[in-house]
Amino acid sequence: MSKVTFKITLTSDPKLPYKVLSVPESTPFTAVLKFAAEEFKVPSATSAIITNAYLGVLCCVAGNVFLKHGSELRIIPRDRVGGQGD
Amino acid sequence: MDVALYLIAAAVLIVLIGFAVKIRSRTQEAQGWATGGPGATCGPRQPSMCPLEVEQPKKVGAKKQKKLEEKQAKKAQREAEMEEREERKRMHELREQERQQEDERERLMEQKQEEEERHAAEEQERREEEEYLKLKASFVVEEQGEEEQLTEDQSRNLLQEFIQHIESSKVVLLEDLASHFGMRTQDAINRLQDLLAEGSLTGVIDDRGKFISITPEELDSVARFIRQRGHVSITELAQASNSLINLQPESRSSA
């Protein structure tokens, strides 16, 4: 079973902590989000993962996300999705 | 003579009395019929059975009869209406009861359905949690840390470095520029266009994805050439530009 790697950064923290996660490519991306939220100790229900280009990641499995958006992702609080920015 | 007169008067009196009695008996019969109906037994032969009405005015005329009939009819109609009203009320109550029973049944059904949906949702959640825990076992955190933040000085210098790099390179591929500074290509193009607009940089972006940095002095020299020649073709201008504009990077030109 091949794996893909994502570097996920918590951008809501000024220190910009990141974690490099290695997950099987067939993993549903919702599980990756949940795991990343648990690792960063933020609630998964109110978090979302976006790319560096501020695109929301809505795709299905980890392999497809890696192919479409690359490995550099960000996790943000959900109320910031689609916001105007600071 | 007198005796004859007396006898005649007596006979006349007797006839008159008999006539009066006859009329009286007929009147009594008529009264009895009006109040007692066919069974009335009040008559001249049984005067003790007569009700007191017999003593009222004697005939029941057609008008009165009609009035009595109308009264009876109205009474019957009133009773029928009351009966109908009672019936309607009963039906309404019955329907109301049935409706309430129906509502109660529907409410119970909805409650049951909601309960089932809730159970199904809980079951689904539990299954998803189990699946997630199974998947989690295969997840690995390979590395973790904190991103390096640029200091204020570093961020100020970055722009100068950006401009310096372009000016010294003279001809630079936009993609190379973006990767050199860790930006997206489109972001690099946007920055470049902003710098061109505010005058921090002078040059042209060609249609092959390159930026050629031209100093103001070189631009002036090209302008002077065109003014001197007056009438100049594109070919001549291109040939002259090769000598007027230095396309060598600064590091190479100095070497």
**Beta bridge pairs of residue B145:** A18
The pLDDT value recorded for residue B253 is 45
Q: Among all chains, which residue has been given the structure tokens 């959900």? A: A78
Whether A81 is covered by a domain: the verdict is no
Q: Is A16 helix (H, G, I), strand (E, B) or coil?
A: coil
Backbone angles phi, psi at A11, to 5 degrees: -80, -10
Least-confidence region, from A30-34, A63-67, B50-54, B232-236: B50-54
At A56, the pLDDT band (50, 70, 90 cuts) reads confident
Instruction: Select the highest-mean-pLDDT range: B38-47, B49-58, B67-76, B162-171.
Output: B67-76
Whether A80 is covered by a domain: the verdict is no
Q: DSSP letters of B137-156?
A: TT-EEEEEEEPPPPPHHHHH
At B34, the pLDDT band (50, 70, 90 cuts) reads low
Each residue of B196-224: pLDDT tens digit? 888 888 999 988 889 999 988 998 999 99
Whether A56 is covered by a domain: the verdict is yes
**Residues A43-51: what's their mean pLDDT?**
89
Q: What is the rounded distance in angstroms from the CA atom of residue B244 to the CA atom of residue B252? A: 17
Of the candidates A14, A15, A19, the beta carbon closest to that of B141 is on: A19
- When comparing pLDDT for B122 and B183, which is higher? B122
Residue A50: which domain range?
Answer: 3-12+25-71
> CB-hemisphere CA count at 13 Å for B241?
14
- Positive or negative, the CA dihedral B110, B112, B116, B118 is positive
The pLDDT value recorded for residue A13 is 86
At B115, the pLDDT band (50, 70, 90 cuts) reads very high
Domain count, chain A: 1
The pLDDT value recorded for residue B255 is 40
Residue from A24, A21, A26 nearest A49 by CA: A21
Q: What is the rounded distance in angstroms from the CA atom of residue B195 to the CA atom of residue B190? A: 9
Whether A55 is covered by a domain: the verdict is yes
Contact at CB, A15 and B146, closer than 8 angstroms? yes
B125/chain A closest Cα distance in angstroms? 13
Q: Does A48 touch chain B (CB under 8 A)?
A: no
Whether A7 is covered by a domain: the verdict is yes
Non-local CB neighbours of A1 within 8 Å, separated by 6+ positions: A24, A25, A26, B138
Whether A59 is covered by a domain: the verdict is yes
Each residue of B80-102: pLDDT tens digit? 999 999 999 999 999 999 999 99
For an interface test with A, the pick among B133, B142, B190 (most A C-beta atoms closer than 10 Å) comes out as: B142
Average pLDDT of chain A, as a whole number: 85
Q: Does A20 touch chain B (CB under 8 A)?
A: yes
Whether pLDDT at B243 is above 80: yes
Q: What is the rounded distance in angstroms from the CA atom of residue B100 to the CA atom of residue B116? A: 24
Q: Does A37 touch chain B (CB under 8 A)?
A: no
Whether A86 is covered by a domain: the verdict is no
Q: Provide the CATH number for the domain around residue A52.
A: 3.10.20.90
Residue type, B54: V
B10, B15, B17, B20 alpha-carbon torsion, rounded to 10°: -160
Whether A85 is covered by a domain: the verdict is no
**Residues A32-55: what's their mean pLDDT?**
90
At B32, the pLDDT band (50, 70, 90 cuts) reads low
Interface predicted TM-score (ipTM)? 0.82
At B254, the pLDDT band (50, 70, 90 cuts) reads very low
Query: Which two three-digit tokens encode residue A1?
Result: 């079973």
Q: Is A25 helix (H, G, I), strand (E, B) or coil?
A: coil
Query: Which two three-digit tokens encode residue B178?
Result: 């973006």
Contact at CB, B147 and A21, closer than 8 angstroms? no
Q: Does B197 touch chain A (CB under 8 A)?
A: no
Whether pLDDT at B71 is above 80: yes
The pLDDT value recorded for residue B160 is 83
B119/chain A closest Cα distance in angstroms? 21
DSSP-derived secondary structure letter, A67: H
pTM: 0.49
Q: Does A33 touch chain B (CB under 8 A)?
A: no
